[in-house]
Amino acid sequence: MSLPKDFLWGFATAAYQIEGSVDVDGRGASIWDTFSAIPGKIADGSSGAVACDSYKRTAEDIALLKELGASAYRFSIAWTRIIPLGGRNDPVNQAGIDHYVKFVDDLLDAGITPFITLFHWDLPDALDKRYGGLLNREELPLDFEHYARTMFKAIPKCKHWITFNEPWCSAILGYNAGYFAPGHTSDRTKSAVGDSAREPWIAGHNMLVAHGRAVKAYRDDFKPTQGGEIGITLNGDAVYPWDPEDAEDVAACDRKIEFAISWFADPIYFGKYPDSMLAQLGDRLPTFTDEERALVLGSNDFYGMNHYTANYIKHKTSPPPDDDFLGNLETLFYDKAGNCIGPETQSFWLRPHARGFHDLLVWLSKRYNFPKIYVTENGTSLKGENDLPREKIVEDDFRVQYFDDYVKAMAKARTEQGVDVRGYMAWSLLDNYEWAEGFETRFGVTYVDYANGQTRHPKKSAKSLKPLFDSLIEKE
């Protein structure tokens, strides 16, 4: 098994999770600033106000990337640093643009290829208050296109653009469960606003159209001279039937992926939502206008894949409730025979199962005609890691093993199944602000000492990736 000689590997982060400096150089408030200030929303009551202090430590982070041997770095831009109020008629903040321009220049000078994500969940709060943010079908796509154009123009040196990171999370966790900003849900004990049966599907649709507008803008007005590529990053788990002998469980496995990944990928590759979603959701799933379909269909130069875990899938026989977003099924860690999918981690939803990564890469490749794939996130937390002393945290053999198993599964999928995988970004370069879990969960290959000035201390896993990729990437 091997990876192509021009394979890019490195690490990924997101602006709100690492930057801090939320009131520096003209940055406006995002929905996460607002959400994290609400008591009870974040596990430890924290916010991203300081995080890893990376806005002020770009040189330090680049030096770390270089030390670890990375050839690529995926990061996101904070929309509110560029346009503090978010809209296409609002003032542009030159200080924010200058920061990211210099950061990209410095990355390139260090021999590191930037992958820029335009939207990693931190919508300008002003747009949420002005017109409902992701729920506005008319305004959101136009404002996102304007923001995207501003960045394409400012950073022509970036050749790899990602529009949205994991729109499933923004839609489902933000508008169904209320677990993520802006916290909408039908559960009135958690939120005064929200319709879990309808809003997630509206938000997802609007992000798809906004993605399509940004891609068209890039292809029409920037790609001819800049020569880069643009795509979207989607998240999804691997699936196995709870009872392999039950045809209903087998069918539910495909349905689980369709409700997570194909919800966004099918309109991009086929121009329509999956039949399984149409059958269950009916008119709650928005209908594409001809103009919207034309924008979305074919709007991927590559497929960005975020992947962490796997589940056993058991179908349900009762009719799905209106707020169901899985596809009328259960996700389990044990199958009918009592087999466990993988060991526990700090994250309730994550259990390592590397074969699932291989199998999902193959599933996606077959469904979407073997697209170019960049793995834009992959990684794991460790159970109880945050409770250990630093000298034990940096000896993260569990994470070393995870990366070894998963990267080799990816290489095997490429060599034996023809999966066209071109890059891999481990999540994450740094321990960071883990959204609703605050700072209680660590995903980084680098220990960040939050109590002592955000100092960085590479873990064993940080140093394990270069020799791993050196052993797999073809020399000629």
pLDDT digits (tens, 9 = 90+) for 351-387: 999 999 999 999 999 999 999 999 999 999 999 999 9
- 350 — pLDDT class (breaks 50, 70, 90): very high
| CB-neighbour burial class of residue 414 (10 A; exposed 0-12, middle 13-18, buried 19+) | buried
Catalytic residue among 19, 139, 166, 437: 166
What is residue 299's predicted lDDT score, i.e. its pLDDT?
Answer: 98
CA distance 1 to 358: 12
User: 245-267: per-residue pLDDT in tens?
Assistant: 999 999 999 999 999 999 999 99
| Cα distances (Å, whole numbers) of residue 254 to 93, 353, 358 | 45, 18, 16
What is residue 411's predicted lDDT score, i.e. its pLDDT?
Answer: 98
CA distance 239 to 210: 29
Angle at 163 between CA 407 and CA 22, to 5 degrees: 95
What is residue 277's predicted lDDT score, i.e. its pLDDT?
Answer: 98
User: 311-326: per-residue pLDDT in tens?
Assistant: 999 999 999 999 999 9
Angle at 241 between CA 235 and CA 243, to 5 degrees: 160
Catalytic residue among 139, 258, 292, 377: 377
Amino acid at 311: N
Q: Is 166 a catalytic residue?
A: yes
For residues 312 and 334, is the Cβ–Cβ distance under 8 A?
yes
Comparing CA positions, the residue from 432, 409, 404 lying closest to residue 305 is 409
For residues 76 and 70, is the Cβ–Cβ distance under 8 A?
no
CA distance 265 to 365: 12
Q: Does position 476 have pLDDT exceeding 90, yes or no?
A: no
SS3 state at 124: strand
User: 156-201: per-residue pLDDT in tens?
Assistant: 999 999 999 999 999 999 999 999 999 999 999 999 999 999 999 9
Edge-first strand listing for the sheet containing 310-315:
238-241, 310-315, 329-332
Q: Is 199 a catalytic residue?
A: no
User: 14-54: per-residue pLDDT in tens?
Assistant: 999 999 999 999 999 999 999 999 999 999 999 999 999 99
Q: What does the pLDDT average to over 326-338?
A: 98
Q: What is the sign of the dihedral through the CA atoms of 32, 41, 352 and 359?
A: negative
Comparing CA positions, the residue from 306, 463, 304 lying closest to residue 379 is 306
Angle at 460 between CA 456 and CA 464, to 5 degrees: 115
CA distance 48 to 46: 7
Q: What does the pLDDT average to over 302-307?
A: 98
What is residue 393's predicted lDDT score, i.e. its pLDDT?
Answer: 98
CA distance 345 to 188: 31
Q: What does the pLDDT average to over 126-147?
A: 99
CA distance 35 to 179: 10
Average pLDDT over the chain reads 98
CA distance 151 to 317: 48
Domain spans in the chain, listed from the N-terminal domain onward: 8-236+256-307+347-472
C-alpha 465, offset from chain centre: 21
Residue 135 phi, psi dihedral angles, 5° rounding: -85, -5
As assigned by CATH, the class of the 8-236+256-307+347-472 domain is: alpha beta
